[in-house]
Structure 1
Amino acid sequence: MLGRMLALTFLGTMIAGPASLAQVPTVQPAIPCHDYKEIARQLGNRYEEAPVSLGMQSNGNVLQVFASKDKESWTILSVSPEGTGCILAAGRRWEDMPIERDGPEA
Protein backbone atom coordinates (compact mmCIF):
# COMPACT_ATOMS: atom_id res chain seq x y z
CA MET A 1 0.00 0.00 0.00
CA LEU A 2 2.88 2.39 0.75
CA GLY A 3 4.22 1.75 -2.74
CA ARG A 4 0.84 2.66 -4.23
CA MET A 5 0.67 5.89 -2.18
CA LEU A 6 4.16 6.79 -3.33
CA ALA A 7 3.19 6.06 -6.93
CA LEU A 8 0.08 8.24 -6.60
CA THR A 9 2.14 11.02 -5.00
CA PHE A 10 4.57 10.73 -7.89
CA LEU A 11 1.62 10.80 -10.30
CA GLY A 12 0.36 13.99 -8.67
CA THR A 13 3.82 15.53 -8.86
CA MET A 14 4.16 14.59 -12.52
CA ILE A 15 0.78 16.13 -13.28
CA ALA A 16 1.24 19.30 -11.19
CA GLY A 17 4.94 19.72 -11.88
CA PRO A 18 7.86 20.21 -9.49
CA ALA A 19 6.95 23.86 -8.89
CA SER A 20 3.88 22.75 -6.94
CA LEU A 21 6.07 21.03 -4.35
CA ALA A 22 8.10 24.18 -3.81
CA GLN A 23 4.94 25.96 -2.64
CA VAL A 24 4.09 23.38 0.04
CA PRO A 25 5.34 24.12 3.57
CA THR A 26 7.80 21.49 4.78
CA VAL A 27 5.86 20.90 8.01
CA GLN A 28 2.85 19.54 6.12
CA PRO A 29 2.80 16.45 3.91
CA ALA A 30 2.21 17.25 0.24
CA ILE A 31 -1.26 16.32 -0.97
CA PRO A 32 -1.16 15.71 -4.72
CA CYS A 33 -3.69 18.03 -6.39
CA HIS A 34 -4.32 18.77 -10.05
CA ASP A 35 -7.07 19.04 -12.63
CA TYR A 36 -9.75 16.49 -11.72
CA LYS A 37 -10.26 15.30 -15.30
CA GLU A 38 -6.54 14.55 -15.66
CA ILE A 39 -6.38 12.67 -12.35
CA ALA A 40 -9.48 10.65 -13.29
CA ARG A 41 -7.95 9.84 -16.69
CA GLN A 42 -4.67 8.71 -15.08
CA LEU A 43 -6.47 6.57 -12.48
CA GLY A 44 -8.39 4.89 -15.29
CA ASN A 45 -5.34 4.35 -17.49
CA ARG A 46 -2.85 3.26 -14.83
CA TYR A 47 -5.02 1.45 -12.28
CA GLU A 48 -8.23 0.75 -14.25
CA GLU A 49 -10.17 2.66 -11.59
CA ALA A 50 -13.51 4.40 -12.15
CA PRO A 51 -15.83 6.40 -9.86
CA VAL A 52 -17.96 4.16 -7.62
CA SER A 53 -19.42 6.62 -5.08
CA LEU A 54 -19.45 10.25 -4.04
CA GLY A 55 -20.73 12.61 -1.38
CA MET A 56 -20.80 16.32 -0.63
CA GLN A 57 -18.37 17.75 1.91
CA SER A 58 -19.31 20.64 4.22
CA ASN A 59 -16.78 22.89 2.44
CA GLY A 60 -18.59 22.49 -0.91
CA ASN A 61 -16.15 19.93 -2.33
CA VAL A 62 -17.19 16.51 -3.58
CA LEU A 63 -15.59 13.46 -1.97
CA GLN A 64 -15.28 10.78 -4.64
CA VAL A 65 -14.19 7.17 -4.40
CA PHE A 66 -12.60 5.44 -7.39
CA ALA A 67 -12.12 1.65 -7.43
CA SER A 68 -10.96 -0.92 -9.94
CA LYS A 69 -13.52 -3.39 -11.31
CA ASP A 70 -11.85 -6.25 -9.45
CA LYS A 71 -11.83 -4.02 -6.33
CA GLU A 72 -8.11 -4.62 -5.87
CA SER A 73 -7.31 -0.90 -5.74
CA TRP A 74 -9.09 2.29 -4.70
CA THR A 75 -8.43 6.04 -4.46
CA ILE A 76 -10.31 8.79 -2.60
CA LEU A 77 -10.36 12.30 -4.07
CA SER A 78 -11.65 15.63 -2.83
CA VAL A 79 -12.80 17.71 -5.81
CA SER A 80 -13.32 21.48 -5.56
CA PRO A 81 -16.11 23.32 -7.41
CA GLU A 82 -13.36 24.80 -9.61
CA GLY A 83 -12.37 21.31 -10.81
CA THR A 84 -9.22 20.70 -8.76
CA GLY A 85 -8.91 17.15 -7.45
CA CYS A 86 -6.73 16.18 -4.48
CA ILE A 87 -5.76 12.59 -3.70
CA LEU A 88 -6.58 12.00 -0.01
CA ALA A 89 -6.02 8.26 0.28
CA ALA A 90 -5.42 5.11 -1.74
CA GLY A 91 -5.22 1.44 -0.97
CA ARG A 92 -6.07 -2.12 -1.86
CA ARG A 93 -9.08 -4.40 -1.58
CA TRP A 94 -12.07 -2.05 -1.74
CA GLU A 95 -15.24 -3.56 -0.28
CA ASP A 96 -18.81 -2.30 -0.64
CA MET A 97 -20.94 -2.53 2.47
CA PRO A 98 -24.73 -2.45 2.61
CA ILE A 99 -26.26 0.67 4.14
CA GLU A 100 -27.93 -0.23 7.42
CA ARG A 101 -31.06 1.90 7.67
CA ASP A 102 -31.52 1.36 11.43
CA GLY A 103 -27.83 1.79 12.26
CA PRO A 104 -25.38 -0.83 13.47
CA GLU A 105 -26.52 -3.50 15.89
CA ALA A 106 -25.32 -3.09 19.46
Structure 2
Amino acid sequence: MTKFQTLLSSSLILFFAGVLAADAQAQTVECGPRNAAINALTDEYGEVRRAIGLDPRGIVEVYASDETGSWSVTVTLPDGRTCLLAQGEHWIAAPGPLTTGRIS
Protein backbone atom coordinates (compact mmCIF):
# COMPACT_ATOMS: atom_id res chain seq x y z
CA MET A 1 0.00 0.00 0.00
CA THR A 2 1.39 3.39 -0.95
CA LYS A 3 1.73 6.26 1.49
CA PHE A 4 -1.16 8.03 -0.28
CA GLN A 5 -3.42 4.97 0.02
CA THR A 6 -2.56 4.64 3.69
CA LEU A 7 -3.33 8.32 4.30
CA LEU A 8 -6.57 8.12 2.33
CA SER A 9 -7.67 4.98 4.19
CA SER A 10 -6.88 6.56 7.56
CA SER A 11 -8.72 9.75 6.66
CA LEU A 12 -11.79 7.85 5.52
CA ILE A 13 -11.80 5.74 8.66
CA LEU A 14 -11.57 8.78 10.92
CA PHE A 15 -14.32 10.57 8.98
CA PHE A 16 -16.51 7.46 9.05
CA ALA A 17 -15.90 6.97 12.75
CA GLY A 18 -16.81 10.59 13.48
CA VAL A 19 -20.07 10.28 11.60
CA LEU A 20 -20.88 7.00 13.28
CA ALA A 21 -19.99 8.29 16.72
CA ALA A 22 -22.30 11.26 16.27
CA ASP A 23 -25.09 8.96 15.10
CA ALA A 24 -24.33 6.47 17.88
CA GLN A 25 -25.13 9.09 20.50
CA ALA A 26 -28.77 8.75 19.48
CA GLN A 27 -28.61 4.95 19.79
CA THR A 28 -27.48 2.44 22.35
CA VAL A 29 -23.83 1.53 21.78
CA GLU A 30 -22.66 -1.89 22.97
CA CYS A 31 -19.41 -1.80 24.96
CA GLY A 32 -17.48 -4.45 26.84
CA PRO A 33 -14.05 -5.85 27.61
CA ARG A 34 -11.75 -5.58 24.58
CA ASN A 35 -10.77 -9.27 24.55
CA ALA A 36 -14.39 -10.42 24.54
CA ALA A 37 -15.38 -7.96 21.79
CA ILE A 38 -12.48 -8.79 19.48
CA ASN A 39 -12.80 -12.54 20.08
CA ALA A 40 -16.48 -12.35 19.13
CA LEU A 41 -15.67 -10.56 15.88
CA THR A 42 -12.93 -13.02 14.94
CA ASP A 43 -14.41 -16.29 16.27
CA GLU A 44 -18.12 -15.77 15.50
CA TYR A 45 -17.91 -13.68 12.34
CA GLY A 46 -14.48 -14.53 10.92
CA GLU A 47 -13.56 -10.84 10.77
CA VAL A 48 -9.98 -9.60 10.91
CA ARG A 49 -8.69 -6.09 11.49
CA ARG A 50 -8.40 -4.18 8.21
CA ALA A 51 -7.68 -0.65 9.40
CA ILE A 52 -6.88 1.32 12.52
CA GLY A 53 -6.89 5.02 13.36
CA LEU A 54 -6.93 7.43 16.26
CA ASP A 55 -10.02 9.38 17.21
CA PRO A 56 -10.25 11.92 20.07
CA ARG A 57 -12.23 9.30 22.02
CA GLY A 58 -9.93 6.32 21.42
CA ILE A 59 -8.68 3.82 18.85
CA VAL A 60 -11.01 3.16 15.91
CA GLU A 61 -10.72 -0.17 14.11
CA VAL A 62 -12.44 -1.68 11.09
CA TYR A 63 -12.85 -5.47 11.03
CA ALA A 64 -14.13 -7.39 8.00
CA SER A 65 -14.43 -10.85 6.50
CA ASP A 66 -13.75 -11.51 2.82
CA GLU A 67 -15.48 -14.87 3.18
CA THR A 68 -18.82 -13.71 4.63
CA GLY A 69 -18.76 -10.02 3.67
CA SER A 70 -19.56 -8.91 7.23
CA TRP A 71 -17.83 -5.83 8.68
CA SER A 72 -17.69 -3.99 12.01
CA VAL A 73 -16.37 -0.65 13.26
CA THR A 74 -15.20 -0.47 16.87
CA VAL A 75 -13.70 2.16 19.15
CA THR A 76 -11.57 1.21 22.13
CA LEU A 77 -11.84 3.79 24.91
CA PRO A 78 -9.02 4.85 27.24
CA ASP A 79 -10.59 2.77 30.05
CA GLY A 80 -10.09 -0.40 27.95
CA ARG A 81 -13.69 -0.98 26.91
CA THR A 82 -14.33 -1.67 23.23
CA CYS A 83 -17.58 -0.39 21.73
CA LEU A 84 -19.28 -1.59 18.56
CA LEU A 85 -20.19 1.53 16.56
CA ALA A 86 -21.51 -0.07 13.38
CA GLN A 87 -21.75 -3.35 11.56
CA GLY A 88 -23.03 -4.54 8.24
CA GLU A 89 -22.73 -6.80 5.24
CA HIS A 90 -21.30 -6.75 1.71
CA TRP A 91 -17.73 -5.72 2.59
CA ILE A 92 -15.60 -5.04 -0.47
CA ALA A 93 -11.93 -4.25 0.04
CA ALA A 94 -10.92 -1.38 -2.22
CA PRO A 95 -7.57 -2.02 -3.95
CA GLY A 96 -6.84 1.70 -4.02
CA PRO A 97 -8.54 5.08 -4.15
CA LEU A 98 -12.15 4.84 -5.30
CA THR A 99 -12.03 8.16 -7.13
CA THR A 100 -9.52 10.23 -8.99
CA GLY A 101 -8.99 13.93 -8.49
CA ARG A 102 -10.69 16.24 -6.04
CA ILE A 103 -14.25 15.88 -4.89
CA SER A 104 -16.19 19.11 -4.55
The counterpart of 1:70, out of the listed 56, 59, 67, is 67
User: 1-side partners of 2:101 and 2:79: how far apart?
Assistant: 35
Amino acid at match of 1:50: V
Q: Corresponding residue for 2:34?
A: 36
Aligned-pair CA distance for 1:80: 1.2
Aligned-pair identity in percent equals 23
The counterpart of 2:43, out of the listed 27, 42, 45, is 45
**Superposed CA offset, 1:55-93 (max 9, x none):** 111x14111001113251000001113321110100001
Evaluate the alpha carbon distance shift between residue 82 and residue 92 of structure 1 in structure 2; reply closer, same or farther with a 3 A threshold. same
5+ long unaligned stretches in structure 2: 1-25
Q: SS where residue 46 of structure 1 aligns?
A: helix
Q: Decide whether the 8 Å contact of 2:66 with 2:91 is kept in 1.
A: no
5+ long unaligned stretches in structure 1: 1-27
Instruction: Count residues in correspondence.
Output: 79
- Equivalences for residues 1-106 of structure 1 within 5 A: 28-57=26-55, 59-70=56-67, 72-97=69-94, 98-99=96-97, 103-104=101-102
RMSD of the TM alignment (CA)?
2.6
- TM-score normalised by length of structure 2: 0.63
Q: SS where residue 39 of structure 1 aligns?
A: helix
